[in-house]
Each structure stands twice: as C-alpha cells, then as structure tokens.
Homo-oligomer: A and B are copies of this chain.
Amino acid sequence: MRNDPQRLRFEIGARDGSARAGVIHTAHGPIETPAFIPLATKGTVRGLESAEVVELGYQLILGNTYHLFVSPGPERIAAAGGLHGFMNWERAIITDSGGFQVFSLAHGGVANEVKGSGRSGDHGSKVEISEEGARFQSPRDGAELFISPEVSMSIQAQLGSDIALVFDECTPFHADREYTARSTERTHRWLDRCLAWHEREGPERQAVFGIVQGGTHEDLRRESAQAISEAGVDGIAIAIGGTLGRDKAEMAEVLAITAPLLPEAAPKHLLGIGEVDDLLGGIALGLDVFDCAVPTRLSRHGVALAPSPETRWRLDMRKGKWVGNREPLVEGCPCTTCQRHDRDYVSYLSRAEELTAVRLIVIHNLTYMHELTTHARAAIQAGTFNNYRSAILSGETPWTA
C-alpha cells in the first residue's frame, strides 16, 4: 500500500465489528462508505443523465475501459476533458481495467455475462492471451485491438478516472488449482507492470487499486492478498470470478477467507457484486464499495427492488397481478417513482414495453440501493449494523435501522 493523500485518502469514521463507515477522498470529491456504485459502463448510467445520478445521491460511478476503448475511443473522451467532461459528471469515477471483459470473451462460458455488452459475443470472441497482453477483435467493427497492462493504464489515464483498476486476468471461478496458480502469478506480474507504467506516466491525482484474485483456493488467495497488499496501490479490489456470485455459499466462503488478509486501512471494493444479501455480507466483512449491473439491468426487464427476501428482493412488474394495485413499488421509498406512481401504472407501462417504465424503475432501484447503503452506514455509526442486517435479510423493513 502506498499512502499519498494527493491521490486518495480513506478515513474510517466508525467501526461496528469488522464493518466500517468511512469517507474516500478523491480528486473529484468524497465518497461516503459503504457505498453502492452504479455502472456507467459506456459513459452513461443507462437512461439517466449525469445530473440525475447526482440527484439520486451518488458520489461515484464506474466506467468501463474495454467498452469505452471499443467506442468511442479514449482519444475522443480525452479531447472532451476525460470521462468527467465527456459525460458532464463532476463527482468521482472509478474505471474497470477491461480485464474482466477480455477474459470473459476468452473463457467463452462467461461471455454472455460480459457486463453491458448485451450481445453474446459473436464478434470479439477470438481472444489471444500472451504474457504481453490480450489481442481481440472489436465487437463494433471487427478491427484487431490489443490491451496490455500498459495499454489499460494508458486508456484509464486518458479517461481521467479518479481510481484506476489494474489490468488482471479474471480467472474463472472454478478453474483448477494449477490454472489458477499460473493465472494469479501472471496477474501479479501484470500488477507490477501497471504500477510501473502509472508511476512513470499516470495522472498525478489518479489512484490505483490492485485486484485480489486466487479463485477458491485459500493458499492462492492468501498469496494474492499478500502480493497486492505489499504493492504500491491506493486501495484493493476483490474479484470473485466469472460466475458473478451464482454460488452464494462458496462466494461467501472465499470472501470470509480473503477479507481478513487485507490491510485494515485500505479502501476495499468488491467487484461486480451488489445483490442485497451479498452486499450486506460484504459490509459485515469490512468491504467498502460495491459495483453491480443488477439494479440497472433489472429495470430494463421490468423488475423493481423491494424488501422481499423470498424473491431475492425483486418484484416482477410484468406480472399480471399488479392490475389495480394502488401501492407504490415500496411503501416509504423516497424516490420520485414511489412518490408519484402506483404499481398498477408501472406494471402497465412495463408490460407495454414503454421506455417510461425503464426510467421509473431505474430511478427506484438506484434509490433503493442508495438508501440501503446510507442506512447501513448510519447503523454502523450507531453500532447496530447486525440488527440492521437481520432486519433487511428478514424483509422486516425496507431500510431503516
């Protein structure tokens, strides 16, 4: 870990067990943690203007190096003043390194989980991985593209994010020990290359997070945690792997092994995980920020988040049963959708595939996630996080501690 307040400063304000409430100070303002991070994969939180994401209370969004590299290209974004200028977002930005996307294409089975691609990898499925980096075809026009640790860092420098992630190999969750060991070692060599490039040429005020890999193997996780912790990074991200938490028990086990191995003082980002129970589990283990496509993606399928553990916190508004239902999506939810519209109307719009439905639900879902973490923060500060977590997991209450 390096400690350079010019790039990033993490203040832990309160602790409750391993959970903590803090503030990450970046070049574009503070991020109060624990925090959920909405995806702005391709330079927009789908369907929302930047100003609206501010109104929803978010202080940090996640842009994607792979997608923005493919289109519109980092030069065009740099010419607009970086991703902040391009999308007119004045708060903090973290950028994914592109590793997850490239290796999802390479490993095939995870290709259709590639975040934000919306296609099943017809183009771009040919990926050649070498020690140097990854060569692949652009899903836009088939042109040959190349990402290496250095290229990823230089793209992220052009994007001008406040936090860059190192370029890593995203090991499939269930790869065998030997593959995972080799892959983890390469990830560490790539980490060194990323940091060397960034030291020489990276933006002065851009922080860099390392990524802990190691699959499900405790010794490899331990090795990876140690390597990342000893490197000159400003924070640590944890990659769970391509299954994106489908096997929740195994994921929880890996997290429980990994989290205590990491330096207390580091801000910690759990990559790609943001379902309600997983997020609360991560907070309990001392993780701080969580990005996830689910809340925004669900809105495009007519699914609203709600205090309903038995349906994985999801209400499918395309079901017929909401006809005539005069309740808001969630009673007591402060979002404009719940203030103004009932389930009957949202459900009608969803079934009619009206754009307005996507909008109404994405505003609700992002409010839901924001309220969930804001109240988790308050509970940690009050020393009642365990009660809070239980109340949420039992569906007793939407958010209030």
Q: Which residues of A contact B (CB under 8 A)?
A: 42-51, 71-72, 76, 79-80, 86-88, 323-324, 326, 336-337, 340-342, 344-345, 348-349, 351-352, 354-356, 358-360
Contact between chains at A344 and B47 (CB < 8 Å): no
For the complex formed, measure the closest distance between the CB of A60 and the CB atoms of chain B, giving whole angstroms: 19
Partner of A43, one of B48, B88, B324, B348: B348
Q: Given known contacts A51-B340, A88-B345, A341-B88, is B356 in contact with A46 (CB within 8 Å)?
A: yes
Minimum C-beta distance from A240 to chain B (A)? 28
Give me the 5 closest cross-chain CB pairs, A-B, nearest first.
Answer: A47-B355, A44-B356, A72-B348, A88-B340, A46-B355
A80 touches B42 (CB 8 A): no
Least CB distance, A13 to chain B, in whole angstroms: 33
Alpha-carbon distance between A351 and B87 when the two chains are bound, in angstroms: 15
- Cα(A341)–Cα(B86), bound, Å: 8
B43 A76 Cβ-Cβ under 8 A: no
Q: How far is the CA of A45 from the CA of B43 in the complex (A)?
A: 25
Q: What residues on B are CB-neighbors of A323 within 8 Å?
A: 72, 76
User: Can you spell out 25 A-B residue pairs with CB atoms less than 8 angstroms apart?
Assistant: A42-B354, A43-B349, A44-B349, A44-B354, A46-B354, A47-B355, A47-B356, A47-B359, A48-B356, A49-B336, A49-B356, A49-B359, A50-B340, A71-B352, A72-B348, A76-B323, A76-B324, A76-B348, A80-B326, A80-B345, A86-B344, A86-B345, A86-B348, A88-B340, A355-B355
Which residues of B have CB within 8 Å of A42? Answer: 352, 354
Given contacts A49-B336, A80-B344, 19 further A-B contacts (CB under 8 A): A43-B348, A43-B349, A47-B354, A47-B355, A47-B356, A48-B359, A49-B340, A49-B359, A50-B340, A71-B348, A71-B351, A76-B348, A79-B324, A80-B326, A80-B342, A88-B341, A355-B355, A355-B358, A359-B359
* B residues less than 8 Å from A80 (CB atoms): 326, 342, 344-345
Return A245 CB to nearest CB of chain B, in Å: 26
The smallest C-beta distance from A58 to any residue of chain B, in angstroms, reads 15
- Smallest distance from the beta carbon of A379 to chain B beta carbons, Å? 32
Q: Which residues of B contact A351 (CB under 8 A)?
A: 71
Closest chain B CB from A329 CB (angstroms)? 14
Chain B residues, Cβ within 8 Å of A348: 43, 71-72, 76, 86
User: Do residues A51 and B336 form an inter-chain contact, with CB atoms below 8 A?
Assistant: yes
Specify which chain B residues have a CB less than 8 angstroms from the CB of A87 in the assembled complex: 345
- Least distance between A72 CB and chain B CB atoms (Å): 5
User: Which of A49, A337, A348 has the most C-beta atoms of chain B within 10 angstroms of its own C-beta?
Assistant: A348
Chain B positions within 8 Å of A45 at CB level = 356
List residues of chain B with CB within 8 A of the CB of A44.
349, 354, 356
- Note all chain B residues with C-beta closer than 8 A to A324: 76, 79
For A344, the chain B residues whose CB sits under 8 A away are 76, 80, 86
Tell me how far the C-beta of A323 lies from the nearest C-beta in chain B, rounded to whole angstroms: 6
Task: Return the chain B residue nearest A349 by Cβ.
Answer: B44
A158 smallest CB distance to B (angstroms): 15
- With a cutoff of 8 Å between Cβ atoms, the chain B residues found around residue A48 in the complex are 356, 359
Nearest B-chain residue to A341, judged by Cβ: B88
* Nearest residue, chain B, Cβ from A76: B323
Complex: A356 Cα to B340 Cα, angstroms: 22
Q: Which residue of B lies closest to A51 (CB)?
A: B340
A46 to B337, CA, bound (A): 16
| In the complex, chain B residues whose CB is within 8 Å of the CB of A352 | 42, 71-72
Q: Which residues of B contact A358 (CB under 8 A)?
A: 355
Closest B residue to A326 by CB, please name it: B80
Most buried by B among A47, A50, A79: A47
